[in-house]
Amino acid sequence: MGILNVTPDSFSDGGRFSSPEAAIEAAAHLESEGASIIDVGGESTRPGAQPVTAQEELRRVIPVIRGIRRRSQIPISIDSMKSEVADAALSEGADIINDVSALRHDPEMLSVCLKWRPGVVLMHMQGTPATMQKAPTYQNATAEVEAFLQERLSFATTNGIEPEFVVLDPGIGFGKSAAHNIEILSAIPLLSSIGRPLLLGISRKSILTHLASAQTIAERYWPGVTLTSLAREMGARIFRVHEPAPHLQALRMTEAILAA
């Protein structure tokens, strides 16, 4: 899953693709590097980020989704918590809703899912992007994340979303300390056993600084690729990344060994 942030304030690439034309070209580059999905986001979810209006989010993402779809049939994911944005994105050809609130933020998001029957990513997050890194606390991070994902999967399927349309994301970096993130990464086999594909977003995140002393965004590159390989061996299936090519190489190598 190639990351395409069309925001001015995302943590590592905010403002790089401020025009639709630049974003559409970036999507083509992600696809050429081997991305299987393009994840388009118009509202930053970095720690401390403030929300934007649905109108502003639509202004940022709809021309980009429309342009990508004109050029390619690659699956498009809309990274949004807002039903209005998701509905408009799906009407323009998006295929997946990537909701970091796991259908909790907007009560109308479920109706959009039932209307379009897209793929749905349900992610764990403690708090909101604006507050999530202000002293996150758990009694047992693994157990609480597992219980949350189980409950959200049950909510989705009980309310009419087909289970085979659902992907789960433990939300690395979303309301979690470095120790919590490490604990959850070690629990990938357990979380994968819930029965739906596990999506992992670790690309360029600060956990890589903690684990590998990667002080700059550029230095987080190879530790992230290493974690992709390890997480695939442990059971994760979808990887949300900024640079698809090296992650795809790592996956091919790891999968060849696993298949042997």
**Catalytic center residues:** 205, 240
Contact 134, 127 (CB under 8 A): yes
Strands (E), 56-195: 76-79, 96-99, 119-123, 166-169
Rounded to whole angstroms, how far apart are CA atoms 124 and 175? 9
Q: What are the φ/ψ torsions at residue 198 (nearest 5 degrees)?
A: -100, 125
Rounded to whole angstroms, how far apart are CA atoms 80 and 55? 13
Rounded to whole angstroms, how far apart are CA atoms 170 and 181? 9
Q: What are the φ/ψ torsions at residue 9 (nearest 5 degrees)?
A: -135, 20
Contact 160, 147 (CB under 8 A): no
Locus of tokens 């999967």: 153
